[in-house]
């Protein structure tokens, strides 16, 4: 029996589900795993699924699990109304956490991630005589919340399955189909969401001298925070400090008691994170002190995504393997992405290397035309766009092959002996 991957992808694309609501998707996954004869654990991190293929080496007398390679795919869709016009476009709707009825679309390609991982598992099962070791496949919910991997870890996925020697994952991107993008070091930025509550003293708008005005405090804080990146960070380094939300007061003649800012911070690594966090906190507290605040501001980290850092040695090894499999020029350095991912928690919690790569899904001729016309940003829809529409082939096949090539590189081959990952 062979999985019809095109039909599987179209089915998943037609039925996207919001983060932590991927119950139908999990059902499709477990149905396919059962058909492959694989046992699985479901309900990990609410809707996640994990399975393993334990394939002891015949040369080692069948003892031990060999190299343990984790392959991860995320499952969730987004509250986006699909405008691709595809015959199999999503018309699904869902309920977001605030209770709103919203359109739902696989606008980030997670349907392709699931399809590719199921296809890779099928291939790895069929070729068990050619490799030894253990493959753990993780179908993760709620990547778009940055919460799914931690939810699976909290549910014990690292204890219930053999611990990884390496964690591998991939993401669909609008590179030309067939092209792989990967770089050593930081592949995706770290990101924190902060809420800052500035505490003043409210009163009558006609008597400012009797108050501590949090509106002025907030204004000064927002302006001073702009100097973190412009005046304090080495211009050769990347950092973002965005104040995306500011709320205070209800009426022109009332000075409110407090003001709330919401910040989005981005940086390439843990050192830069600590550095920017410290500078933001210093400015927030100092501006409050400068305003004569009687209480220090309350700073809350609402969510925190680590940087996605590719292990340099494993990335070099994988790049060579991809070039051997797909030819010179098939692998490009896509640069660092300022978006963030939660895949690296699996590797960080285990203290093992991670490689996370991108693979293209855009029509190569259309991409080349857009490059020639200087219209890539206009004509090539990115992830999260309502027009995001990967071509089916060779995107599906390449997504399967990349996972198989990558897994096999770090699993043991009879001719290679033990992988050294
Ligand atoms: Zn996304
Ligand atoms: Zn995504």
Say whether pLDDT at 227 is over 80.
Answer: yes
Looking at all shown ligands, the one closest to residue 113's CA atom is 2
Instruction: Please state, in angstroms and rounded to a whole number, the distance separating the CA atoms of residues 185 and 211.
Output: 50
CATH number at residue 82: 3.40.630.10
By the CB criterion, residues less than 5 angstroms from ion ligand 2 are 108
Looking at all shown ligands, the one closest to residue 343's CA atom is 2
Q: How far is the CA of 90 from the centre of ligand 2 (A)?
A: 17
Read off the pLDDT of residues 240-283 as tens digits, 9 standing for 90 and up: 999 999 999 999 999 999 999 999 999 999 999 999 999 999 99
Instruction: Please state, in angstroms and rounded to a whole number, the distance separating the CA atoms of residues 156 and 62.
Output: 27
Q: What's the mean pLDDT when you consider all of the chain?
A: 95
Q: Mean pLDDT across the stretch 104-114? A: 98
Q: How far is the CA of 387 from the centre of ligand 2 (A)?
A: 15
Single residue among 242, 276, 305 that ends a domain in this structure: 305
What is the radius of gyration, based on Cα positions, of the chain?
24
Q: Which pLDDT score is estimated for 123?
A: 98
Q: How far is the CA of 108 from the centre of ligand 2 (A)?
A: 5
**26 and 134 both lie in a single domain:** yes
Say whether pLDDT at 355 is over 60.
Answer: yes
For residue 421, tell me if it sits in a domain: no
**Banded pLDDT at 420 (limits 50, 70, 90):** very low
Hey, what are 52's tokens?
């393993």
**321 and 401 both lie in a single domain:** yes
For residue 98, tell me if it sits in a domain: yes
Say whether pLDDT at 417 is over 50.
Answer: no
Q: Which pLDDT score is estimated for 303?
A: 87
Nearest CA-CA partner of 130 in 77, 53, 229, 192: 53
Q: How far is the CA of 57 from the centre of ligand 2 (A)?
A: 35
Q: How far is the CA of 148 from the centre of ligand 1 (A)?
A: 13
For residue 130, tell me if it sits in a domain: yes
pTM of the prediction?
A: 0.89
Q: Which pLDDT score is estimated for 18?
A: 98
Nearest CA-CA partner of 27 in 49, 57, 3, 58: 49
Percentage of residues of the chain with pLDDT beyond 70 = 96
Q: Which pLDDT score is estimated for 138?
A: 98
Q: Which pLDDT score is estimated for 338?
A: 87
Residues 174 and 370 sit within 8 Å (Cβ to Cβ) = no
Q: How far is the CA of 145 from the centre of ligand 1 (A)?
A: 9
Q: Which pLDDT score is estimated for 1?
A: 62
Instruction: Please state, in angstroms and rounded to a whole number, the distance separating the CA atoms of residues 168 and 149.
Output: 14
Q: Is the peptide bond before 233 cis (omega within 30 degrees of 0)?
A: no
Q: Mean pLDDT across the stretch 309-337? A: 97
CA atoms within 13 A on the CB side of 78: 18
Say whether pLDDT at 416 is over 80.
Answer: no
Single residue among 305, 339, 358 that ends a domain in this structure: 305
Q: How far is the CA of 63 from the centre of ligand 2 (A)?
A: 38
Read off the pLDDT of residues 200-212 as tens digits, 9 standing for 90 and up: 999 999 999 999 9
For residue 228, tell me if it sits in a domain: yes
Structural domain of residue 246, as residue ranges? 190-305
Q: How far is the CA of 99 from the centre of ligand 1 (A)?
A: 21
Residue 290 DSSP code: H
Read off the pLDDT of residues 272-322 as tens digits, 9 standing for 90 and up: 999 999 999 999 999 999 999 999 999 999 988 999 999 999 999 999 999
Q: How far is the CA of 161 from the centre of ligand 1 (A)?
A: 27
Single residue among 254, 289, 305 that ends a domain in this structure: 305
Nearest CA-CA partner of 23 in 43, 41, 6: 43
Say whether pLDDT at 35 is over 70.
Answer: yes
Nearest CA-CA partner of 410 in 132, 185, 137: 132
**108 and 27 both lie in a single domain:** yes
Q: Mean pLDDT across the stretch 34-46? A: 98
Contacts of 306 (CB under 8 A, 6+ apart): 190, 270, 342, 344, 345, 348
Q: Mean pLDDT across the stretch 39-54? A: 98
Residues 330 and 394 sit within 8 Å (Cβ to Cβ) = no
Q: Which pLDDT score is estimated for 56?
A: 87
Q: What is the number of domains present in the chain? A: 2
Q: Exposed, middle or buried, 171 (CB in 10 Å: 0-12/13-18/19+)? A: buried
Residues 225 and 242 sit within 8 Å (Cβ to Cβ) = no
Nearest CA-CA partner of 139 in 252, 40, 56, 48: 48
Instruction: Please state, in angstroms and rounded to a whole number, the distance separating the CA atoms of residues 335 and 346.
Output: 23
């Amino acid at each position: 029996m062979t999985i019809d991957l095109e039909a599987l992808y179209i089915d998943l694309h037609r039925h996207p589900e919001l983060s932590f609501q991927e119950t139908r998707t999990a059902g499709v996954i477990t149905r396919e795993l059962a058909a492959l004869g694989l046992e699985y654990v479901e309900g990990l991190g609410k809707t996640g699924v994990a399975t393993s293929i334990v394939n002891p080496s015949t040369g080692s007398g069948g003892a031990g699990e060999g190299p343990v390679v984790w392959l991860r795919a995320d499952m969730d869709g987004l509250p986006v109304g699909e405008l691709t016009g595809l015959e199999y476009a999503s018309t699904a709707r869902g309920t977001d956490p605030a209770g709103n009825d919203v359109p739902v679309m696989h606008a980030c390609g997670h349907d392709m991630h699931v399809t590719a991982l199921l296809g890779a598992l099928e291939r790895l099962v069929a070729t068990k005589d050619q490799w030894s070791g253990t493959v753990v496949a993780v179908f993760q919910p709620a990547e778009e919340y940055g919460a799914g991997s931690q939810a699976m870890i909290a549910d014990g996925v690292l204890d219930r399955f053999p611990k990884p020697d390496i964690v591998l994952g991939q993401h669909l991107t609008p590179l030309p189909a067939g092209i792989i993008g990967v770089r050593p070091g930081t592949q995706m930025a770290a990101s924190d969401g902060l809420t800052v509550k500035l505490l003043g003293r409210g009163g009558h708008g006609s008597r400012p001298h009797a108050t501590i005005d949090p509106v002025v405090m907030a204004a000064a804080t927002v302006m001073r925070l702009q100097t973190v990146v412009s005046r304090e960070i080495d211009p050769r380094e990347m950092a973002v400090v965005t104040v995306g939300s500011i709320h205070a007061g209800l009426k022109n003649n009332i000075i409110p008691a407090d003001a709330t800012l919401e910040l989005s911070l981005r940086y390439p690594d843990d050192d830069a994170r600590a550095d920017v966090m410290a500078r933001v906190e210093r400015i927030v507290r100092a501006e409050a002190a400068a305003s004569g605040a009687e209480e220090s501001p309350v700073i809350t980290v609402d969510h925190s995504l680590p940087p996605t850092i590719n292990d340099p040695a494993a990335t070099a090894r994988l790049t060579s393997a991809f070039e051997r499999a797909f030819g010179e020029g098939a692998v490009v350095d896509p640069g660092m992405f300022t978006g963030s991912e939660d895949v690296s928690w699996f590797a960080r919690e285990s203290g093992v290397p991670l490689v996370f790569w991108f693979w293209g899904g855009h029509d190569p001729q259309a991409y080349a035309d857009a490059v020639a016309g200087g219209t890539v940003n206009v004509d090539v829809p990115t992830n999260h766009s309502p027009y995001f529409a990967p071509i089916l082939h060779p995107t599906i096949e390449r997504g399967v092959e990349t996972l198989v090539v990558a897994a096999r590189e770090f699993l043991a081959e009879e001719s290679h002996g033990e992988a050294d990952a």
